[in-house]
Amino acid sequence: MRNLDDIIKAYDVRGTYPDQLDEDLAHQVGGAFVRALGIAARDGGPGAVVIAHDMRPSGPSLVASFSEGVREQGVDVILIGLASTDGLYFASGRLGLPGAMFTASHNPAQYNGIKLCRPGAAPVGQDTGLREIRALIDSGVPSYDGPLGEVTEQDMLTEYARFLRELVDVSGSRHLRIVVDAGNGMGGFTVPAVLGTAAGLPPLPLDIDEMYFELDGNFPNHEANPIDPQNLRDLQARMRQTGADLGLAFDGDADRCFLVDERGELVNPSALTGLIATRELAKHPGATIIHNVITSKAVPEVVREAGGTPVRTRVGHSFIKATMAQTDAVFGGEHSGHFYFREFWRADSGMLAALHALAALGETPEGTTFSSLLAPFDRYAASGEINTEVADQAAVTAAIKSEFAARGITDFDELDGLTVSGDTWWFNVRPSNTEPLLRLNVEAQGEERMIEVRDEVLDMMRAGA
């Protein structure tokens, strides 16, 4: 018997198919989604849900079952077919409807999942609907005594591509050569539309070297998870072979984008956050920029230098989006490669981040490299995120705090896990929401000091494991 605690997570529904997430559960989630959000039935007023799926083989059948659950509650369904997650967010924002995206993002082939949102791409998490959905599934979704909702199909790809191009215009860029690794994920669907001519839009001054653009949810070349360095090796090798100006790597549902510079080196997502922040502040002087607790110290420095107001928040899209709404921030960046834009309904879009990078490089004189463009934003040595399995996350975290307090350290912050700051370094240790892991991020003014702090804290974590 499946355990819903393993499937209905903090931000979405996700599990292996078909033993955890199957058509029956998708059907129940569809009905519960309508009930939990109070979406009006057809005879009680206008009501519809927009639905999309990625390239995973189980997507169409799960969508059909979810749609039936929605329709049985008297609510209409608008199917937009294949889409990236930010493509579904676009549809939700443009149509003003709640949405459901069937994807397991960067997870391996055996997984699938459902990302849910309210109208205008507002997130649905544990505190904003998922808990109620879970309760309705447990108790049994009430039936609706009325006509079935109707089903229509709508193609949103061209409108999505045109909208992004209007937000970030790269048509006047100098000519750039780029390599794109879609990882057999949805980047292979959206890149030809946005950066190419597949959506019928005018060509851009880009030569695109396509890698793994064939949509294949079995991921025959490598997992579509660019946060894992081994999944970037092919892109890095192609960059070094071709001497292209910039490399882009998308995750499975293409809501995240990681960059590789002209040397074949991975671009620090915090540096990209700083670059995009300055571009947004040039359009919106004095605006607020959101960053989470593990982005580089350089991000708030850059924001202040550009006349903006940095606001720090917890890791996770629900916290970023909520804080953006509270502060009317124009942009938010996470070290995990998620980038959020007020002009995109505060939702995250890997493609929009890629367009900003291309536009910024395209505005520079011929011969300017992306690494030199980013140098002002890449100021510190960082460890990247390191996961350690521990039995008692809270006890290990408390022991680390106690050890540093005994050394006279007083700068502790517990907004998200534990952040400890010294004179030339800081680190954050925070628990995973779903696994018995502690996640460590370290940053320092120099590589040697960063390694010292990293290894010392890792020893403490492993001692408590």
For residues 254 and 272, the answer to whether their CB atoms sit within 8 Å is no
Which of 25-56 are b and which e, b meaning 16 or more Cβ less than 10 Å from the residue's Cβ? bbbbbbbbbbbbbebebbeeeebbbbbbbbbb
Taking every pair of Cα atoms in the chain, the longest distance, rounded to a whole number of angstroms, is 69
Q: Within 13 Å, how many C-alpha atoms sit on residue 146's CB side? A: 16
Catalytic residue among 65, 67, 105, 383: 105
Q: What are phi and psi of 160, to 5 degrees?
A: -60, -50
Residue 245 is encoded by which pair of tokens?
Answer: 């100006």
Taking Cα atoms as reference points, which of 55, 64, 67, 63 lies closest to residue 104? 55
Residue 299 is encoded by which pair of tokens?
Answer: 């991000």
Whose structure tokens read 């082939």? 109
To the nearest 10 degrees (0 to 180), the angle between helices 85-95 and 157-167 is 90
Query: In whole angstroms, how large is the CA radius of gyration of the chain?
Result: 22
**Torsion, CA 238, CA 240, CA 242, CA 245, rounded to 10:** 100
270 among known catalytic residues = no
Q: Checking phi first, is residue 179 left (phi over 0); if not, alpha (psi -120 to 50) or beta?
A: beta
Indicate the length of the chain as a whole number.
465
Please give the C-alpha separations between residue 111 and each of 345, 356, 410, in angstroms, as whole numbers.
28, 31, 44
The H helix count followed by the E strand count for the chain is 14, 22
For residues 156 and 83, the answer to whether their CB atoms sit within 8 Å is yes
Amino acid found at 63: V
**What residues are labeled active site?**
105
